[in-house]
């Protein structure tokens, strides 16, 4: 990648185009969580409010279960047909899922069909973001300038969190302009319509992005060596199994980070409403302010990783999350002061920045171009489906059983497991496959996975 001013402008343009699409995808994904406190009664029979929230949380988890399938399908597609094509496909699927939720009648009108359509829509959204994460992470890392990959890759979480922030912003605007009865009856449908329309616009935008140089060089290398296209099996799971240590490392890297992230963002809203007793409107403002600061922290963390390495930031997250989670959540659950709640949430998010700001680049630095999107996407999505997607379900179930504090120790344990991995892993920016020149890629196109194995297991 050229380091001239013209080349750098091109990098910035591609990063912005990829990031805007990522933002809309995650807006659509998080609108579900932001507005579930309103539409839970619409899709499920009347009863215990906690039971209704638990039902919507279970469907939230169903979306996560589809993410490994999305990571597999879209990852293979991105590695075979290009990052740009896969990103365009993923946002199309998301648009359809959001539209289904927007137009589905309430349970009182169509009965069981309402929650079934909600499940279908959430499955489509899960399929979409399962492919979006890996392909977006791969694309941003590959188009970034050498020496600034951490900075540019951090924009994946900038836009990921911005999507959540915009969802909360839409929620605040609707709360200010509509009555509580209108929000409950039909106002919650508006953000899903917005998401579907925006996703259609992004489909066009993504068609104007440049394909990543690493992918085009990989295609050229195959042509230069007269290698036939891989069969679907060779280009899919069979090829990925040639990198078992890298895949396991992605799972271990993700475990603590995804549980902490969804605890301090998605579940935090319900925790402050149900446990702290803070009003819905105030909680929306607390989340909005905290996530706005959190966005600013991402490129700072990414740029810092370009100077001191990725591993040190991961260790910062691991130590902070292990030590602070239990006392932070305990104090938060007993306060109704909005400023105290904001400060505690911000402390947690600052610690989580050690993971989120380098999450994408660390994983893309583990794999060669030919299997990078699939290698990042599938093991990440599997871990997320098992642990990240069940955060709300576990938390609400323990609360209903009268053992809410056990959830804090569960989060702490997950982070502690990842901390052990962070401590023993090698600095991934050293000898990264992303920094190979086109000549290197051509001459080492048939390299075996063993040449990269030490990157996944050796301590720096």
Please spell the DSSP secondary structure of 194-210, one letter per residue.
HHHHHHHHHHHHHTTSP
**Which of the four pLDDT bands, split at 50, 70 and 90, describes residue 231?**
very low
DSSP secondary structure letter of residue 428: T
Say if 357 falls within a structural domain.
Answer: yes
Asked if pLDDT for residue 338 goes beyond 90, the answer is yes
The torsion defined by the Cα of 197, 152, 418 and 365, in degrees rounded to 10, comes to 110
How far is residue 60 from each of residues 115, 266, 375, measured CA to CA in Å?
A: 12, 11, 24
262 is a domain residue:
yes
Do the beta carbons of residue 414 and residue 444 sit within 8 Å? no
The arithmetic mean of pLDDT across residues 415-441, rounded, is 77
Domain membership flag for residue 436: yes
Whether the full predicted model's pTM is greater than 0.85, yes or no, is no
Three-state DSSP at 241 gives coil
- 205 vs 425, more confident: 425
Q: Give the number of domains in the chain.
A: 1
Confidence grade of residue 151 (pLDDT, cut at 50, 70, 90): very high
Q: For position 263, which CATH number holds?
A: 1.20.1250.20
Confidence of residue 460 (pLDDT cuts 50, 70, 90): very low
Residue 217 lies in a domain: no
What is the spatial distance between Cα 152 and Cα 161, in angstroms, rounded to a whole number? 15
Domain assignment present for 313: yes
Structure tokens at 55: 């039902």
Query: Which tokens go with 49?
Result: 């409010």
* Average pLDDT taken over every residue of the chain: 82
Both tokens assigned to 72: 């597999």
**Would residue 214 count as lying in a domain?**
no
Distance CA 13, CA 141 (A): 14
Q: Which domain holds residue 36?
A: 13-208+232-457
Mean pLDDT of 60-67: 75
Examine residue 220 and state whether it is found in any structural domain, yes or no: no
- Helix%, strand%, coil% for the chain, nearest 5: 80, 0, 20
Q: Which residue has the tokens 């992918």?
A: 215
Predicted local confidence at residue 303, as pLDDT:
94
In the chain, what's the furthest Cα-to-Cα distance?
67
Q: 273-294 b/e with 16+ CB inside 10 Å = b?
A: bbebebeeebbbbbbbbbbeeb
Is 2 a member of any domain? Answer: no
Dihedral, 113, 114, 118, 119 alpha carbons, nearest 10: -40
pLDDT tens by residue, 130-139 = 888 888 888 8
Cβ(206)–Cβ(21) under 8 Å?
Answer: yes
- For 7-56, what is each residue's pLDDT tens digit? 677 788 778 877 887 888 889 888 887 787 787 777 776 665 665 666 77
The string of pLDDT tens digits covering residues 277-314 is 898 889 988 988 998 999 999 999 999 999 999 999 99
Helical residues (DSSP H) of 334-390, grouped into ranges: 338-356, 359-364, 372-383
Given a cut of 50, whether residue 180 has pLDDT beyond it is: yes
The rounded distance, in Å, linking the Cα atoms of 78 and 443 is 23
């Amino acid at each position: 990648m050229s380091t001239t001013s013209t080349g750098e402008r091109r990098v910035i343009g591609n990063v912005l185009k990829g990031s805007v699409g990522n933002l809309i995808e995650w807006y659509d994904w998080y609108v579900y969580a932001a507005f579930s406190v309103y539409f839970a009664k619409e899709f499920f029979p009347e009863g215990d409010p906690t039971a209704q929230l638990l039902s919507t949380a279970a469907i939230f988890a169903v979306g996560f279960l589809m993410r490994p399938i999305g990571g597999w399908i879209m990852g293979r597609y991105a590695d075979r047909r290009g990052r740009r094509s896969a990103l365009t496909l993923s946002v199309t699927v998301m648009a359809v899922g959001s539209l289904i939720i927007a137009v589905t009648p309430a349970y009182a009108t169509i009965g069981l069909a309402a929650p079934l359509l909600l499940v279908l829509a959430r499955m489509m959204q899960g399929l979409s973001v399962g492919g979006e994460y890996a392909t977006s992470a791969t694309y941003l890392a590959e188009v970034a300038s050498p020496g600034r990959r951490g900075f540019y890759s951090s924009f994946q979480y900038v836009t990921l969190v911005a999507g959540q922030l915009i969802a909360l912003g839409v929620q605040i605007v609707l709360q200010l302009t509509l009555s509580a009865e209108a929000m409950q009856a039909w106002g919650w449908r508006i953000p899903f319509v917005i998401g579907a329309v925006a996703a259609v616009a992004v489909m066009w935008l993504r068609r104007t992005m440049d394909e990543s140089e690493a992918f085009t060089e990989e295609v050229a290398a195959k042509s230069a060596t007269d290698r036939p296209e891989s069969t679907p099996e060779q280009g899919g799971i069979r090829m990925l199994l040639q990198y078992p240590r890298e895949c396991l490392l992605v799972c271990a890297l993700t475990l603590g980070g995804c549980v902490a992230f969804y605890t301090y963002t998605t579940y935090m809203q319900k925790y402050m409403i149900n446990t702290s007793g803070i009003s819905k409107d105030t909680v929306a403002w607390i989340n909005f302010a905290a996530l706005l600061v959190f966005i600013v922290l991402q490129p700072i963390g990414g740029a810092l990783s370009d100077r001191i390495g990725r591993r040190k930031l991961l260790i910062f997250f691991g130590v902070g999350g292990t030590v602070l989670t239990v006392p932070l959540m305990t104090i938060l659950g007993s306060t109704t002061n909005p400023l105290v709640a904001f400060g505690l949430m911000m402390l947690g998010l600052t610690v989580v920045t050690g993971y989120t700001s380098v999450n994408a680049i660390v994983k893309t630095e583990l794999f060669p171009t030919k299997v990078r999107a699939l290698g990042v996407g599938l093991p990440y999505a599997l871990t997320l489906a098992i642990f990240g997607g069940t955060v709300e379900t576990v938390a609400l179930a323990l609360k209903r059983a009268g053992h809410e504090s056990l959830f804090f120790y569960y989060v702490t344990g997950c982070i502690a497991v990842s901390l052990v991995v962070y401590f023993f892993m090698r600095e991934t920016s050293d000898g990264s496959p992303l920094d190979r020149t086109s000549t290197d890629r051509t001459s080492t196109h048939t390299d075996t996975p063993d040449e990269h194995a030490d990157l996944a297991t050796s301590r720096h």
